[in-house]
Structures are given as structure tokens and as C-alpha cells.
Amino acid sequence: MKFDSMLETAKAPEPTDRYLQGPFRVLAMDIDIRGHHPSYVRNFAKTWAEYNIQGNLDFLVSHRFFELHPDETKYVQSLSSHGIRIISLTQAEDDRMEAIPYLRYFQAWKLFCKYSKSLESNHGLLMFSDYLQLPMLIGKQAPCPFSMIYFRPTFHYQILGNYHPPWKERFRAWRKKLLMKRVLKIARLARVYCLDNFAVEFIKDHFRPKASIEFLPDSFATFPMTATELESMRLELGIDSSRKIFCLVGILDRRKGVRELLEAIQTLSEAASKQVCVLLVGELHVSQEVEIIALLEQTKNNSQVQVVLRNDFVPEEDVQKYYELSDVTLTTYQNHMGGSSALIRSALAKRPVLSSDHGLMGEIVRKRQLGLTVDATKPHEIAKGILAFLDDRPECKLNLKSAQTFVEENSSARLAEALKLLTITRR
């Protein structure tokens, strides 16, 4: 099997309409509209259709989703023959939910209960449940069995290497552990999905849950690109052919460590600077825009590193192209909790990562041998990491066999297996 097509490991069956007549209906709710959320909606719909999962799937999204993500909306609507629909909250429901920020997820839980009842759903899926756990516990009972995707469990991080949390993080972990133990007692909770395999095993071993605990593959759609297209892309961006491209993709906010990265490259020698291009791809967060633009000007004046900024939303079909174009993927996030699809995308493109050594992401990079980890909170450590890649040191190498396995574990076929479980009603 070719490595470049690992995300498509099984042939999808021909579409049919036969199960549209059936009674089973899943309601998948995601009220968030930024970051990974639009691509998750699209990819879950794509996988459901391509693997002919037997049941009807309704997505419930924010009223603004249709406006901000027309391509994803149209794509999901095009799959109606597979029993897939996308439904938005009303403007009034959206307004009520956003009116009082700290009550947002209590309103969201009410809306989940309302729509799962009115749509006569047989099963629900909370596509981002991290902030819905307290509302689940003290709010009304769900009208149907449901499952939840838990993105950032951290109560098990003490088993990971190089994790030394301050007291605030330890307190948050204790609070999450206490909350999850109670959530697992909810009568209608059928299963908990985690993108973190370490968390899956920890919950099974330490919490003795009645609900099923499942690993959720972090699969995504891929769009093949030729070498000629990549070269054209490089020319369009104006990147010098002699430079090694270090690429950071995503919403460029404080968590992504853009400031630390720009400070790091200003410390490189003139000789090293001439070998480096830093490619920043994604929207600058409004809270950091002024600071980052000023730092970019400072870098331009003080360093010969080429910095290319594409300050714009990146459509799903373009994301993987930047990983293919790069020589090294940057995941130098600041005290990041959870994993990142950037690691899978980089492995798929056969590119090593320069990553934070913190928490789950650092553990994955070390154990999977996906590249080099550094203390990303310290600019001089990031600079050392860049120099290590320029020198082609052994510790920077990507283990291709391990990367291939990592990609396979997060394939669309594995995601389809996980989604099929939603049609098996429990509790």
C-alpha cells in the first residue's frame, strides 16, 4: 500500500438510499465555528457517506456556520442522498447562547436536548464536550443515549515524560478527573471518544467506567498535489529555493508560540539565517496582530531569515499542501494540552517536526520518533532546534516506519469504524 494514500485504506461502497427509510438517526452537535470544527463536520460527513454507515446523520451547528463556512455547508448538503443533513440553530437561539459567556454551554446542552427530541434522534454525539460536562451533570436528562468527544483530558499527564506542571495545572487536572468520574455515571452516556490513546487506557484502568471508552482517529480529507504544483506554490509565495522551509500552520494565536518563534530566529547567525525560511500560514488572532506585525518588522530589520506570512483563513483542501511544501513542520506550541492533527499531517507528508516537549504532543513526537522536541517556551531552545535541522543531526530524523503506522492508526477507515459505533445504541 502506498504511503501517500494511507488515509484512504478501504474502498468506499456505492451510495444507496435504502437506509433513509430506516428509523435510526444520529444528531451530531458542534456549536463552535473556528479551528478544527468546520473540518471535523466535513470529514465526519465524508466518512459517513463513503463508508455507507447504516443510519441517518444530522449535524446541528451555529447559525453563523453557514455564513462563515459556505464550502463545508454546501459539501455536507450535497450528501443528502446518504441520509446526511446539516441544520443550524436559529439566530435567536444563537444570540441567547452567546449573551452570557459563562452560561454558553448550559444553553448549548438545552439546545442539544431540544433538538434531539424534536428530530426524534436515536443517538446523540457531542463533537466538543470538554465544556459541556457540568451542564450534562446538573442540566436536564438527555432525551436519547449519547456519546461525547473529549478533546483535552489532562488528569493522566503525570504518566507522560517531561511533564512538570505548576499548581494551577495540577488543580485543573484534579478538577477534570473529579468531573469525568461523575460524568461517566450519567445513565444515558453510551461512550466517550478520545483522540489520546494514553487517556483511553488511563480511564479504562482507573475509572472503571460503564460507558465505552474509545480511541477516535484524527482523520482528515486529503487532496493530492504534484511536484510541479508544489514548485509553483513555492514561487507564488516568493520563497528562495536555497532555503529550508520551517512551516507553522493554524490560527496564529498566543498558544501557537509565534512570538517565541520570531524571537528565536533573530538570534541565529548570519550564515544560518540565510538558510532559513519561516512560513506562517493562518489567520493572525486579533489579540496578537499588532504585536506580531511589529515583531515581523523587527525580524526583517535584524535578521536575514526569510519570513513569509499568509494571514488568511486556509480552506481544508489547501491545508495539507503547506505540509508537503515544507521541510520541517513547526509545532512549538506554548504549554499545549492535547495532541494536534499537525503531527499526523506532517507524518503523512513525510516531514519531521520541531515540536514542544510539553505534555501529550511531546510524548507522541518522542515515542513515535517524528522529529525533535524542545522547550518551546524558551526562544534560544527553539533556535537550537532550528540549527539542529540545518546541521541534519540524527536526532532530527523522521522514523518513516513509525510515521506510517501513526498515519494508518488515524486513517479514514479507522474513523469509519469508530463512527459506526454510534449506530449501536447503548444505555
The CATH number that applies at residue 289 is: 3.40.50.2000
Say how far apart CA 25 and CA 116 lie, in whole Å. 9
Say how far apart CA 56 and CA 14 lie, in whole Å. 16
Same domain? 271 vs 200? no
What integer pLDDT is reported at residue 426 of this predicted model? 59
What b-and-e string marks burial along 402-426, b requiring 16 or more CB atoms within 10 Å of the CB? ebbebbbbbbbbbbbbbbebbbeee
Same domain? 419 vs 376? no
Place 425 in a pLDDT band, splitting at 50, 70 and 90. low
* Higher per-residue pLDDT: 275 or 168: 275
Same domain? 98 vs 161? yes
Which helix H or strand E contains 73, and what residues bound it? helix 70-77
Range from 15-29, 50-64, 133-147, 380-394 carrying the lowest mean pLDDT: 15-29
Place 147 in a pLDDT band, splitting at 50, 70 and 90. very high
Look up the pTM and report it.
0.83
Provide the residue range defining the domain that includes 303.
227-408
Judged against a pLDDT cut of 60, whether residue 3 lies above it is answered with no
| Average pLDDT of span 349-374 | 94
Say how far apart CA 199 and CA 216 lie, in whole Å. 11
Please count the helices (runs of H) and the strands (runs of E) in the chain: 18, 13
* Higher per-residue pLDDT: 208 or 425: 208
* Higher per-residue pLDDT: 165 or 175: 175
What integer pLDDT is reported at residue 338 of this predicted model? 75
Say how far apart CA 382 and CA 84 lie, in whole Å. 45
What integer pLDDT is reported at residue 183 of this predicted model? 96
- For the chain, how many structural domains are there in total? 2
pLDDT in tens, 85-132: 999 999 999 999 998 888 999 999 999 999 999 999 999 999 999 999
Same domain? 250 vs 147? no
Same domain? 176 vs 62? yes
Residue type, 227: A
Which residues have C-beta within 8 Å of that of residue 342, sequence separation ≥ 6?
249, 250, 323, 329, 331, 353
* Higher per-residue pLDDT: 290 or 305: 305
Judged against a pLDDT cut of 70, whether residue 371 lies above it is answered with yes
Same domain? 397 vs 417? no
Same domain? 254 vs 176? no
Same domain? 355 vs 416? no
Same domain? 210 vs 327? no
**Are the CB atoms for 424 and 227 separated by under 8 Å?**
no
| Average pLDDT of span 326-353 | 92
Which residues share a beta bridge with 353? Answer: 329, 371
Range from 52-61, 76-85, 279-288, 370-379 carrying the lowest mean pLDDT: 279-288
Same domain? 79 vs 139? yes
Place 4 in a pLDDT band, splitting at 50, 70 and 90. very low
**Are the CB atoms for 150 and 193 separated by under 8 Å?**
yes
Judged against a pLDDT cut of 50, whether residue 19 lies above it is answered with no
Percent of the chain with pLDDT over 90: 71
Strands (E) located in 200-305 = 212-215, 244-249, 276-281
Same domain? 265 vs 297? yes
Same domain? 29 vs 45? yes
Say how far apart CA 306 and CA 311 lie, in whole Å. 16
What integer pLDDT is reported at residue 23 of this predicted model? 66
Percent of the chain with pLDDT over 70: 93
Place 18 in a pLDDT band, splitting at 50, 70 and 90. very low
* Chain mean pLDDT for the chain: 89
Range from 12-21, 84-93, 403-412 carrying the lowest mean pLDDT: 12-21
| Average pLDDT of span 397-426 | 92
